Amino acid sequence: MHQTFDAALGIDLLHANQAGADHNRAHFDRWGITCLNVMSSPGAGKTALLEKTLAALYGELAIAVIEGDMTTELDADRLRQYGVPVVAINTGRSCHLDAQMVAGGIHTLEHQHNPKALDLVLVENVGNLVCPAEFEVGEHAKVALLSVTEGEDKPLKYPIMFQEADCLLITKIDLAPYLEVSIEQIAANVRQMNPDVTILPVSAKTGEGLQPWLDWIKARVQLIANTGNFQLSN
C-alpha cells in the first residue's frame, strides 16, 4: 500500500481519492454512462481485449476509453483505430490511475464530445496487479484480468485485486496447452478469494469466450442506463 496519510495537510489520501471517485461516478450517473475500471499485471492483455471489445460492440454501444500509461500513447493509438474517443493519461512515475487523473480525462471527454451520447467509458489502468485495486476512479465495476501465463497461485499471493474485482477474466486461454496450468485451478483460487466474482475465460486471439464478456458488459450498461434514467426522473 502507498503512503496514504499526509499528516501535515491532515488529509487521508485514500479518503480524498474516494471523494474524487464518488464525484466522477456522479458525473457518469448523470449522463447515464457505465464506467468500468480494467486492471491487471502488465502484459495480461488489457489492450488486446479492449481492441476486440471495441470492434465487436461498434455501432451497438457508444464507447469512449480513458487510457492510463506511465509513458507513451502506444495503447491509446492502438484503440483510436477503432473509431472511438480515446483520452490518454500519462501517469509519469505513478503506478496507478487515481480519481483526480480520471477526472481530468472526463473533462477532456466532456469538452470534445457530448457525454450524454455515450453508453460506456472503459478505463484501462496502468499495468499493476497491486496498487490500482486500492484507488477507485469512479467506476461502477472493477474488471481484473489474469493471464494463464501468470500461473495458478496469483489470486492467493495478490489477494486485494481479486477481492475487489466484480468480473475476473482469465486471459490467453489459447496458450494453456503449452503451459503446466489448469484454468479450473486458477478459477478455484480466484473463488477462494472472492466467492461472488464473475469468472470468464477468454482468448482475445481466437475469440473464444468473447461473447460472454460482451454479454456481461451489455447487462452492466443496461443496469446503469436504467438507474440513470430513474435518477433523472426524480
Site of interaction with its own copies (CB under 8 A): 1-4, 6-9, 13, 41-43, 69-72, 74-75, 92-95, 126-131, 134, 147, 149-151, 153-154, 156-160, 172, 175, 178-179
Bridge partners, 202 (sequence order): none
Which residue, among 174, 72, 151, 85, has the nearest Cα to 122 in the 3D structure?
85
Which residue, among 3, 39, 7, has the nearest Cα to 136 in the 3D structure?
39
Which residue, among 98, 99, 71, 102, has the nearest Cα to 87 in the 3D structure?
102
Q: What whole-number distance in Å separates Cα of residue 228 and Cα of residue 76?
A: 28
Q: How far is the CB of 2 from its own copies (least distance, A)?
A: 5
Q: How far is the CB of 209 from its own copies (least distance, A)?
A: 18
Q: Which is nearer to its own copies, 18 or 94 (CB)?
A: 94
Structural contact between residues 165 and 143, judged by C-beta atoms closer than 8 angstroms? yes
Q: Which is nearer to its own copies, 13 or 199 (CB)?
A: 13
Q: Which is nearer to its own copies, 11 or 232 (CB)?
A: 11
Q: Which is nearer to its own copies, 21 or 146 (CB)?
A: 146
Q: How far is the CB of 7 from its own copies (least distance, A)?
A: 3
Q: How far is the CB of 9 from its own copies (least distance, A)?
A: 7
Q: Say which residue the cell 487515481 belongs to.
A: 98
Q: What whole-number distance in Å separates Cα of residue 167 and Cα of residue 213?
A: 9
Q: How far is the CB of 232 from its own copies (least distance, A)?
A: 38
Q: How far is the CB of 6 from its own copies (least distance, A)?
A: 6
Q: What whole-number distance in Å separates Cα of residue 100 and Cα of residue 122?
A: 16
Structural contact between residues 117 and 85, judged by C-beta atoms closer than 8 angstroms? no
Q: How far is the CB of 116 from its own copies (least distance, A)?
A: 33
Q: What whole-number distance in Å separates Cα of residue 106 and Cα of residue 224?
A: 18
Q: Which is nearer to its own copies, 133 or 210 (CB)?
A: 133
DSSP 172-234: -GGGGGGSS--HHHHHHHHHHH-TT-EEEE--TTT-TTHHHHHHHHHHHHHHHHHHHHHHHH-
Q: Which is nearer to its own copies, 163 or 227 (CB)?
A: 163
Q: Which is nearer to its own copies, 33 or 193 (CB)?
A: 193
